[in-house]
Amino acid sequence: MPFIQCRAQGSAFFAVILAGLLLPLAALQAQPGPMGTVDQLILKYRPEVQARMRTPAALQARAAREVLETTGLAVTYRRAMAPVTGAHVLKLPHPMPVAEARAHAERLMQARPELDYVEPDYRRYPRSTIPDDPDFNRQWHLLRPQDFTAAVNMPDAWDLTRGSSRIVMALLDQGITNHADLRPNLIGQNAAGSGYDMVSDDADGDGDGRDADPSDPGLSASALAPANWHGTHVAGLMAARPDNGLSVAGAGWNTRLLVVRILGENSGSLSDEVDGMLWAAGESVPGVPANPHPAMILNLSVGTDDFEECARTEQAAVDTLRAKGVAVVVAAGNENRNVDGSAPANCSGVLAVTGVTADGARAPFANYGRTLAVAAPGVELVSTWNTGAQTPADDAAGSLSGTSQSAPLVTATLALMLAANPKLRQDAIVAPGQRVAILESKLRAAARAFPETVDGASDPRGCNQNRQTPCVCTTATCGAGLLDAYQAVRAVSTPPVLRINAPRTVASEAAVVLDASASHDDAWGGRIVSSQWRQRDGRAVTLTQADSLSAGFTAPAPVSDETLTFELVLTDDVGLETRQSVDVLVRAATDTNTGGGSSGGGGAPGIPGLLLLAAVAASRLLKAGWRKRPRIRQLPRIGCLHHPHLQ
């Protein structure tokens, strides 16, 4: 039996002008965008200009018209700000990047000297979350990339989510000590009640075989090496409670931790490991009570120092867990060799993680290979610790290096992703068999690029078994990139961007297209999996291709102008939805009865009749002084009503 060792639209505008009032005829209720976008502008006229606009309606009409003519943006007037500011808020037709909104604002300022200023209505967020734990300033791995190249950007991720106590991570390791900084997030609130001791050999560790106490007893009296408190250290990286004034900050914040002891003093058996994996995920194990707190992510910072294939028993367990939607995160190993020969990191379906230094180079000990998921910090990581040389003594914080320390950062990031988007945990929305694949795909897509050069490690060959110093990582040697917890959380919590291009005013019985083909999902490989149009208000019409991005209908023939309201719902591959409505004004059918002697009553006029109507209309315009056209120079061409982003 192998043993396992720890790893330390123009007509609408024309009609509105003739009516003498510019009002929004299409209500595009765009959702507020994700971080880095804005959905409103703030505009202020010079005081002397604003004073000449006698009514609020005049100001609203002018503001909307000038933005449309200058930028092509069909904005909606929202509200006046506090009188002392003299500013007004305009709703953009869709969320857009801040840089794009700034460009539109600058274009307005250049073209419209009557404006005092125009600027994006920037969004404000709480200041980044920095816990008060006394050793947090030593935890370089949690900081931002501008602090350390390989830092995982955890404060920004915590601004989006602090995890959920409904999500359970499982630690399969040596067990843990009853560290005060671990207890708040432990199942059972203490080490002894935090899970199960799956070590079956009576002589390997606490001497009493399998039982309900997964505490780490330390080393026996005959052991020469000092205890390394490996499980306690890994547990703290995952689940030490931040912001409690104690010791360190764990990446999972509020995520709960289930502890399964599968290693004795320095090793454990494959059979105990597999039983522990399955039990942790809620599967039954003979002679062991059912697990009332099944985990959704397992962390195995364990492996073998021998060149070994993934055992069939191990692979079967991974297959079972992946089909249940349970992710298995494994340390790549510390032998400076290809991970293909390092079990269980070489099992198909696991997320294998290698280790990097603070500057983003592969750590000299870390295994490498094409099958790795991502790379995460693995050198001098500070976490929960114990001062005892052989048996537990006092709580402490200590530093360890190894891919064992890299894996739990990925485990905790997956937990934050599940917390940020609860729909990922709903089997009816995301099939269990697809959950891990989606999480891994988003994790990879969110990873930051490896640095192309690192001081003292610029070997263009990248990582190989002959180097005993840090080396440059590539996607062929260290995974998809550097772990970025913030981007990973955003990758599963950013809804689709919905952009509708539809006519605001249509003629009676016109063929109308509601076009949302410019819509898209997030920047992390997301896909729109469902599009559904429906009519919300107005005379019922038949929508064609209502389950696609572009739907159509034939306008009715109302006796008076009538507004129809439609809504589009987009759903992406992680169950997130975006809804947006659009109003279409249908003009009343023209009365074509000439009043002649037809007893049939008002048939459609022929060509001569149409010419006559046109001549009459032209005559009326001339009599009204239309030739002078005092405002016609301000009218855009009809084609200019098409938004540049909605082509």
pLDDT at 611: 42
Residue 524 lies in a domain: yes
pLDDT at 123: 72
pLDDT band at 202 (very low <50, low <70, confident <90, very high): low
pLDDT tens-digit readout, 401-420: 999 999 999 999 999 999 99
pLDDT tens-digit readout, 37-63: 788 999 999 999 988 887 888 899 899
pLDDT at 471: 85
Here the tokens at position 398 are: 């200590």
Position 446 pLDDT exceeds 70? yes
pLDDT at 128: 56
Average pLDDT, the chain: 84
* DSSP-derived secondary structure for 249-288: --TTTT-EEEEEE---SSEEEHHHHHHHHHHHTT--BTTB
User: Strand 168-173 and strand 256-261: pairing?
Assistant: parallel
**Which of these ranges, 120-134, 222-236, 352-366, has the smallest mean pLDDT?**
120-134
Cα–Cα dist 365/466, whole Å: 11
Residue 457 lies in a domain: no
In this structure, the answer to whether residues 504 and 477 fall within a common structural domain is no
Q: What percent of the chain has pLDDT over 90?
A: 68
In this structure, the answer to whether residues 318 and 338 fall within a common structural domain is yes
Residue 368 lies in a domain: yes
In this structure, the answer to whether residues 175 and 283 fall within a common structural domain is yes
Position 546 pLDDT exceeds 50? yes
Q: Distances from the Cα of 114 to the Cαs of 46, 405, 550, in angstroms?
A: 6, 60, 39
Please indicate whether residue 128 or residue 140 has the higher confidence score (pLDDT): 140
The answer to whether the beta carbons of residues 424 and 496 sit under 8 Å apart is no
Mean pLDDT of the region 93-115: 91
In this structure, the answer to whether residues 480 and 616 fall within a common structural domain is no
The CATH number of residue 186's host domain is: 3.40.50.200
Here the tokens at position 532 are: 């559904």
Mean pLDDT of the region 543-567: 96
Q: What percent of the chain is helix, strand and coil (3-state, nearest 5)?
A: 25, 20, 50
In this structure, the answer to whether residues 422 and 284 fall within a common structural domain is yes
The answer to whether the beta carbons of residues 30 and 91 sit under 8 Å apart is yes
Here the tokens at position 277 are: 């994996």
Give bridge partners of residue 176 from the DSSP assignment: 215
Cα–Cα dist 565/534, whole Å: 9
Position 301 pLDDT exceeds 50? yes
In this structure, the answer to whether residues 355 and 430 fall within a common structural domain is yes
pLDDT band at 621 (very low <50, low <70, confident <90, very high): very low
Residue 130 lies in a domain: no
Give bridge partners of residue 582 from the DSSP assignment: 566
pLDDT at 134: 93
Give residue 234's identity as a one-letter amino acid code: V
Calculated CA dihedral for residues 129, 131, 132, 136, nearest 10 degrees: -130
pLDDT band at 23 (very low <50, low <70, confident <90, very high): very low
- Distance from CA of residue 407 to its chain's centroid? 21
Q: Do you find a cis peptide bond into 344, omega within 30 degrees of 0?
A: yes
Here the tokens at position 90 are: 């305009």
pLDDT tens-digit readout, 330-376: 999 999 999 999 999 999 999 999 999 999 999 989 999 999 999 99
pLDDT at 99: 87
In this structure, the answer to whether residues 410 and 344 fall within a common structural domain is yes
Residue 372 lies in a domain: yes
Position 595 pLDDT exceeds 80? no
**Which of these ranges, 45-59, 96-110, 126-140, 407-421, has the smallest mean pLDDT?**
126-140
Give bridge partners of residue 381 from the DSSP assignment: 400
In this structure, the answer to whether residues 435 and 482 fall within a common structural domain is yes
Structural domain span for residue 296 = 138-213+226-449+466-493
The answer to whether the beta carbons of residues 204 and 217 sit under 8 Å apart is no
Mean pLDDT of the region 164-174: 98
In this structure, the answer to whether residues 41 and 55 fall within a common structural domain is yes
pLDDT at 19: 29
**Which of these ranges, 82-91, 539-548, 599-608, has the smallest mean pLDDT?**
599-608
Contacts for 375 with CB less than 8 Å, ≥ 6 apart: 150, 353, 354, 355, 356, 362, 406, 450, 473, 478, 479, 481, 482, 483
In this structure, the answer to whether residues 58 and 162 fall within a common structural domain is no
pLDDT band at 593 (very low <50, low <70, confident <90, very high): very low
Residue 358 lies in a domain: yes
In this structure, the answer to whether residues 186 and 271 fall within a common structural domain is yes
Position 598 pLDDT exceeds 50? no
pLDDT at 369: 94
Contacts for 636 with CB less than 8 Å, ≥ 6 apart: 10, 13, 68, 69
Q: Return the DSSP state at 130.
A: -
List Cβ<8 Å contacts ≥24 apart for 117-122: 117/42, 117/43, 117/44, 118/41, 118/42, 118/43, 118/44, 119/41, 119/42, 120/38, 120/40, 120/41, 120/42, 121/38, 121/39, 121/40, 121/41, 121/42, 121/89, 122/38, 122/98
In this structure, the answer to whether residues 501 and 486 fall within a common structural domain is no
Cα–Cα dist 264/249, whole Å: 27
Residue 429 lies in a domain: yes
Give the number of other CB atoms < 10 A from CB of residue 84: 6
Cα–Cα dist 448/52, whole Å: 53
The CATH number of residue 94's host domain is: 2.60.40.10
The answer to whether the beta carbons of residues 564 and 586 sit under 8 Å apart is yes
Here the tokens at position 436 are: 């891990």
Mean pLDDT of the region 19-26: 26
Here the tokens at position 125 are: 């967020």
Q: Distances from the Cα of 527 to the Cαs of 405, 466, 573, 576, 577, in angstroms?
A: 33, 42, 5, 10, 12
Mean pLDDT of the region 309-333: 96
Position 643 pLDDT exceeds 90? no
User: Strand 297-300 and strand 327-331: pairing?
Assistant: parallel
Cα–Cα dist 159/124, whole Å: 12
Domain count, the chain: 2
Give residue 41's identity as a one-letter amino acid code: L
Q: Which of 192, 174, 171, 357 is nearest to 258 (CA)?
A: 171
Q: Distances from the Cα of 394 to the Cαs of 133, 243, 257, 264, 388, in angstroms?
A: 18, 21, 21, 21, 7
Residue 600 lies in a domain: no
Mean pLDDT of the region 22-39: 44
Whether this prediction's pTM lies above 0.95 is answered by no
